[in-house]
Structure 1
Amino acid sequence: MPYAGRTLPGPAPAGPVPRPRSEPTPSGRIAIISASVGAGHDGAAAELARRLVADGFTVDRHDLLDLLPARLGRAVQEGYHRMLVRAPWAYQRIYSSTERAGGGGPAARALLRAAERRVLRALAPSTGAVVSTYPGASRVLGDLRRDGRLTVPVVTYLTDFSVHPLWVADGVDVHLAAHAVPAAQARAAGAGDVRVCGPVTDPRFRPCDRRERDRARARFGLPPRTPLALLVAGSWGVGPLRRVALEVRDCGAAVPVVVCGRNQALAERLRADGIEHAYGWVDDMPGLMHAADVLIQNAGGLTSLEAFAAGLPVASYRCIPGHGLTNAAALEEAGAAAWIRDAVDLKAVLHDLIDGPLGPRQRETGLALFAATPERGPAAEIARLHNSGLPRHDPRRRASRGGTPRRLATTAAVACAVWACAVGAGIVTAYDGPALAHAIDHGLDLDDRTPHHASQPEGRHS
């Protein structure tokens, strides 16, 4: 069956998207809405799509950033990236404030409402279920479902181990979680039907034997017998990655192998520092994980799940603000990753993960996440919801849907740089926009509180 990578809005359907037939069907159409904010949301969407296509479904994939009005999607992406690089302290404040408030402010709601019609137009009339891998998309779809304009099941797949309240949207029928820890957090945030179905990762991420490990090291030109620590920093190479690489090298526990995505400037700087194995874009991340002895990460997203699938112990260290810190705490609670909070513990924890008893325990915990049979995985759960359908939500239409497109665009233009920053995803808060913009333009690095003027190109690691 066909699979569309990124689809654009099509003709408006005549009325609400129809409900699927009540009887099970061997195939059908499912839409997945993600966002190209980093790589984690898109990575989960891609793997869900691959599995559903293998099961006979037609899958349409959409990027919510393409469905925002006035071409604001790219501004949202750039604003989020800019804040993580230049003013991570501001991102932490916004993340924390939206955690306490349980959601975004009026500007966020106006911006998301402006995307509702575009989302409906993008859905084919034969769509039988819609899946979100992105908090902003869940908000849009939840409102459409609650109002009765979308009459097929809406599913949120939680891509993170920690669940910010923005992930939980009224109207979403089912939330799928990788583990009991994020499932409990989703329920605490108000989600009703939460199901633990395990993570989704590319099947190339799997455990390997010693022979395959040796071949991977030879392929990358890595030392054949020296302990190796694989350092990653999300899809954009943000956070104090250079500092971590130097600390790992100097502590002597392992040789650092650093992946910087498309942040080629960072890779060149690391090599100038004497970090021999510093890479930009890496196509064969499964092979690089097979070559390594431990993964050190700072965001807790898709790369951590890929490491679990590959049987690679994981440590969280010098995490980025917001979701980096909450993911580190959730992974530690689940027993899946060690959280190194102090540099003085770095060497001892790495030794324990590489040669001590902590590594095998974490490897077992990580691999256990993937123990579910295919019949119990996220794609299978989505297929069942598509085939069975769910009761239609009672319409609860709001009296006002917001202002004119021009007014929305003006409001969103002030807020879009902030909008992407809650949950690394894209909801603006009721925040002092001009003051924040000034802070970002004259931003301080989290580590040294000195002005940071060099922007870093975005990138992916895999």
Structure 2
Amino acid sequence: MPHALLVSGSLGQGHDVMARACADSLQERGWTTSTVDAMALLGQRAGAAGEAVFRHLLDLPGVYDAFHFSALRPGARLALLADAAARRRLGPALRELVAAQRPQLVVSVFATATSAVNGLRARDFRHLVLCTDVTPHRLWVQDGTDLFLVTSQVAACAVRRYRPDAPIAVVPAPLRAPFYRPPGRAQARAELGVPGGARCVLLMSGSWGLGPLARTAAALADAGPHVLAVAGRNRELERRLRHAAGSRPRLHPFGYTERIPALMAAADLVVTSSGDTCSEARALGRRLLLLDVVQGHGRDNLQHELELGHADVTSARPEEVVRNALAALHRPPPGLSAGASPLGWRTGFAAALDRVGLGTAGEVQG
């Protein structure tokens, strides 16, 4: 059977979600797959340091904005030096993996991996890059990539900024498999202890739990709605949510959970930072309230979500989140988006494989 190597990155969970979607689609077509974390391949110290630096940049107002818009977007010298340093560390590890696994396809869903994969010599595999950001920055777009997969025409224009002749396919954003068959609203509410006629808000902000979510969850619950608050992998946030829930029966705290499809099905409104959660909410027909907490690419993604409709934006200040959430709960919900069915993604991904000569499992086409 043909084999694919998927290169993800553990900065947040969005990259892993995309890698899993690609793996699922490939396995349905008879491929074997393996997924590696580019941050881990950098080495324990370098990977941990890279994550710490990224978190620190996000914690300082305006700093990551400055780095993204002045260095990453134009491909300034600072960004290219950082990319070259990562490539030197990733290259040997990727070379060993490719030699051991002999993949016909490598899919990069993490910008740091892109140039390292393209830098491998004597390549006998195809290389796809999948980016769900609305404006991929310079490090995503490298010479040697066989096909860029993006999820909007705006993103396609961003890729052509750096490679005017770039081969591009616009595909629907893939979802995790459970979002294609979520539970019904009544079933989800019964399982979660949310009354059928109550207003209900799902509050989350990525796997890192960015922003003052504990205070926001408490304020929302005090204002009347039931609040399903997800801390992700932020254990301190989870502790604070559970403490706040002790005196608030309408506040339902969660740490890291695989039950997001059920939580989303139970909710009337999804309050989140922009990202893959937005595609998931739209697939379930839920209105969005976007937290303006992710700098850099998050600003662009947020604007794009607003343009798609059935979404509002708020600062992360709890009192403003409450005011905007209560208003949004009175607005009509959207219908299901085109992404509610896996057909669009599967068709688009299959066409992408055809374009690089891998459309038939086990047979590389001329």
Q: TM-score range by the shorter chain?
A: 0.7 to 0.9
- Aligned match of 1:323: 297
Superposed CA deviations along residues 385-437 of structure 1, whole A, max 9, x for unmatched, are 2526699xxxxxxxxxxxxxxxxxxxxxxxxxxxxxxxxxxxxxxxxxxxxxx
Where structure 1 has 5 or more consecutive residues not aligned to the other structure, the ranges are 1-26, 392-462
333-342 vs 199-208, which moves further: 333-342
Matched, 1:158 2:121: no
Superposed CA deviations along residues 108-133 of structure 1, whole A, max 9, x for unmatched, are 31231332122121114631121100
Superposed CA deviations along residues 145-168 of structure 1, whole A, max 9, x for unmatched, are xxx532422110113334233222
> Do the aligned partners of residues 333 and 367 (structure 1) sit closer, same or farther apart at CA in structure 2, a change above 3 Å counting?
same
**Secondary structure, counterpart of 2:177 in structure 1:** coil
Q: What's the offset of the Cα at 1:296?
A: 1.0
Q: What's the offset of the Cα at 1:198?
A: 0.9
AA at the equivalent of 1:138: T
Return the match for 1:218 from 190, 201, 209. Answer: 190
Please tell me whether the aligned partners of residues 179 and 283 of structure 2 are also in contact (alpha carbons under 8 angstroms). Answer: yes
In 2, the alpha carbon distance for the partners of 1:152 and 1:71 equals 30
AA at the equivalent of 1:48: C
- Aligned match of 1:16: none
Please tell me whether the aligned partners of residues 155 and 382 of structure 1 are also in contact (alpha carbons under 8 angstroms). Answer: no
Return the match for 1:114 from 58, 77, 89. Answer: 89
Return the match for 2:255 from 280, 284, 288. Answer: 280
- Aligned match of 1:230: 202
> Do the aligned partners of residues 371 and 65 (structure 1) sit closer, same or farther apart at CA in structure 2, a change above 3 Å counting?
closer
1:194-213 matched pairs, under 5 angstroms: 194-206=168-180, 212-213=184-185
Please tell me whether the aligned partners of residues 129 and 386 of structure 1 are also in contact (alpha carbons under 8 angstroms). Answer: no
Please tell me whether the aligned partners of residues 316 and 340 of structure 1 are also in contact (alpha carbons under 8 angstroms). Answer: yes
Superposed CA deviations along residues 173-214 of structure 1, whole A, max 9, x for unmatched, are 2111123232233233436111111111112113768xx212
In 2, the alpha carbon distance for the partners of 1:332 and 1:368 equals 17
In 1, the alpha carbon distance for the partners of 2:350 and 2:119 equals 23
Please tell me whether the aligned partners of residues 207 and 309 of structure 1 are also in contact (alpha carbons under 8 angstroms). Answer: no
Bigger-Rg structure (1/2)? 1
> Do the aligned partners of residues 207 and 226 (structure 1) sit closer, same or farther apart at CA in structure 2, a change above 3 Å counting?
farther
Please tell me whether the aligned partners of residues 207 and 310 of structure 1 are also in contact (alpha carbons under 8 angstroms). Answer: no
AA at the equivalent of 1:156: V
Please tell me whether the aligned partners of residues 178 and 369 of structure 1 are also in contact (alpha carbons under 8 angstroms). Answer: no
In 1, the alpha carbon distance for the partners of 2:80 and 2:222 equals 45
Matched, 1:143 2:133: no
Please tell me whether the aligned partners of residues 198 and 369 of structure 1 are also in contact (alpha carbons under 8 angstroms). Answer: no
Please tell me whether the aligned partners of residues 41 and 159 of structure 1 are also in contact (alpha carbons under 8 angstroms). Answer: no
AA at the equivalent of 2:195: P
Return the match for 1:98 from 44, 60, 71. Answer: 71
Superposed CA deviations along residues 328-368 of structure 1, whole A, max 9, x for unmatched, are 012223336433369787567545654434x22xx44x335
In 1, the alpha carbon distance for the partners of 2:158 and 2:340 equals 17
> Do the aligned partners of residues 202 and 231 (structure 1) sit closer, same or farther apart at CA in structure 2, a change above 3 Å counting?
same
- Aligned match of 1:340: 314
TM-score by length of 2: 0.84
- Aligned match of 1:174: 147
Q: What's the offset of the Cα at 1:239?
A: 2.2
Q: What's the offset of the Cα at 1:57?
A: 0.5
Return the match for 1:127 from 74, 82, 103. Answer: 103
> Do the aligned partners of residues 319 and 100 (structure 1) sit closer, same or farther apart at CA in structure 2, a change above 3 Å counting?
same
After TM superposition, what 4+ stretches of structure 1 lie above 6 angstroms from structure 2? 342-345, 388-391
> Do the aligned partners of residues 368 and 296 (structure 1) sit closer, same or farther apart at CA in structure 2, a change above 3 Å counting?
same
Q: What's the offset of the Cα at 1:106?
A: 1.9
In 2, the alpha carbon distance for the partners of 1:280 and 1:80 equals 22
> Do the aligned partners of residues 390 and 83 (structure 1) sit closer, same or farther apart at CA in structure 2, a change above 3 Å counting?
farther
> Do the aligned partners of residues 131 and 371 (structure 1) sit closer, same or farther apart at CA in structure 2, a change above 3 Å counting?
closer
Please tell me whether the aligned partners of residues 213 and 290 of structure 1 are also in contact (alpha carbons under 8 angstroms). Answer: yes
Superposed CA deviations along residues 198-232 of structure 1, whole A, max 9, x for unmatched, are 111112113768xx212211211223321111111
Please tell me whether the aligned partners of residues 182 and 330 of structure 1 are also in contact (alpha carbons under 8 angstroms). Answer: no
Q: What's the offset of the Cα at 1:92?
A: 2.5
The aligned length equals: 353
Matched, 1:78 2:49: no
> Do the aligned partners of residues 166 and 390 (structure 1) sit closer, same or farther apart at CA in structure 2, a change above 3 Å counting?
farther
TM-score by length of 1: 0.68
Return the match for 1:303 from 274, 277, 291. Answer: 277
In 2, the alpha carbon distance for the partners of 1:369 and 1:226 equals 25
> Do the aligned partners of residues 369 and 157 (structure 1) sit closer, same or farther apart at CA in structure 2, a change above 3 Å counting?
farther
In 2, the alpha carbon distance for the partners of 1:368 and 1:215 equals 22
> Do the aligned partners of residues 201 and 150 (structure 1) sit closer, same or farther apart at CA in structure 2, a change above 3 Å counting?
same
In 2, the alpha carbon distance for the partners of 1:345 and 1:265 equals 23
- Aligned match of 1:256: 227
338-347 vs 226-235, which moves further: 338-347
Please tell me whether the aligned partners of residues 161 and 331 of structure 1 are also in contact (alpha carbons under 8 angstroms). Answer: no
Matched, 1:290 2:265: yes
- What is the percent sequence identity of the aligned residues? 29
> Do the aligned partners of residues 384 and 126 (structure 1) sit closer, same or farther apart at CA in structure 2, a change above 3 Å counting?
farther
In 2, the alpha carbon distance for the partners of 1:272 and 1:132 equals 40
- Aligned match of 1:385: 356
Superposed CA deviations along residues 9-44 of structure 1, whole A, max 9, x for unmatched, are xxxxxxxxxxxxxxxxxx411111111111110111
> Do the aligned partners of residues 195 and 280 (structure 1) sit closer, same or farther apart at CA in structure 2, a change above 3 Å counting?
same
> Do the aligned partners of residues 113 and 341 (structure 1) sit closer, same or farther apart at CA in structure 2, a change above 3 Å counting?
same
- Aligned match of 1:269: 240
Q: What's the offset of the Cα at 1:246?
A: 4.6
AA at the equivalent of 1:45: A
- Aligned match of 1:439: none
> Do the aligned partners of residues 119 and 386 (structure 1) sit closer, same or farther apart at CA in structure 2, a change above 3 Å counting?
farther
